[in-house]
Amino acid sequence: MLSKEQLATLKKELIRLQNDLTVTESRTAVEESALDEVGELSSYDNHPADMGTELYDREKDRALHVHASDELEKVQQALENMKDGSYGVCEECGKEIPFERLEAVPYTTFCVDDAVQDIPEDRPVEDELLKMANTDTFAERRKGVYSDPIDSFEEIAKSGTSETPSDFSGDHADYDSLYDTSVNDESTEDIDVIATSNLEGEPSGIVRGDTTIAYEEELDEIGLESELGDIPYHKKDSYTDK
C-alpha cells in the first residue's frame, strides 16, 4: 500500500504534468480554417510551397494537441482516483501497482504484467501475394544473376550508400558483406581514338586506345584492312564524280 509520502510525491508530479499538458494543449490548438490561422482572406496569391508549410505546421500542432489532450485526461482521472481512494490499483487484475511503476508513469492504471499488449498474429490477406521489394539487386551479381549494364545505381552503390543491414533482404554478418567493394580500374567506356593538339592548339596527331590497337593488330595478322575486307582507295569526290 502506498504511504502518505509516496502519495504526496505522486500527486505533486501529477499536478506538474497537468500544468505542462494544459499549456501544451493551449499552444497547439489550431483554427478550423487554414486561412483564419494565417490571417489571409484568400490563398490565391500564395505560393503552393508556403501553403504546404502551413499545412505541415497545422498537422504537427494538431497531432501534438490530440496527444496532450489524451495525456491530460489520464492525469486528471488519476487525480480523481486519488480523491476516491482507487488510485494505484490495476484495473485488470485488481492488484496494487508498485510505487516504482507509478513513479515512472504516475497516471497509469495497469501494472507491468497487464500493460503488455498482445501483438495480433493475424496478417492481411495481401501478405500472401505481395512481396517486399528487393533493394539489393546489385549485390546479386555474386550469385550469377544478370546485371543490367544500364543500371547506373548499381555502379554508384559499389562505393557505398546510406542503407543499413535492415534495408537488405536476408542475413548479413557485417557491413563489408553488403556490397561488392572490388575496385575496377578500367574506364567506364573504352576510348578508341582521340585527336591531340600541341600547346598552341594545333593538331598534333591521334592517340589510339588499347582496344583499337588490338583490333588493328588482329586485322594485320589476317591481312585485312577491315572486317569487310580490303577497301580499294580512289581519290575523288563521291558526291559529284561517278
> What cell does 231 get?
577497301
Q: pLDDT tens digit string along 116-137? A: 777 777 777 777 766 555 555 5
Give the residue, 80 or 46, on which the prediction is more confident: 80
Residue 49 has pLDDT above 50, yes or no: yes
> What structural domains does the chain harbor?
4-115 (1.20.120.910), 120-185 (no CATH), 190-233 (no CATH)
pLDDT above 70: residue 141:
no
Residue 145 pLDDT > 70: no
What is the sign of the dihedral through the CA atoms of 185, 191, 193 and 195?
negative
Quickly list DSSP for 87-121: TTB-TTT-PBPPHHHHHHSTT--S-HHHHPPPPP-
User: What pLDDT score does 76 carry?
Assistant: 94
pLDDT at 33: 61
pTM, whole model, 2 decimals?
0.46
pLDDT band at residue 151 under the 50/70/90 scheme: low
Vertex 69 angle, CA 64 and 74, to 5°? 130
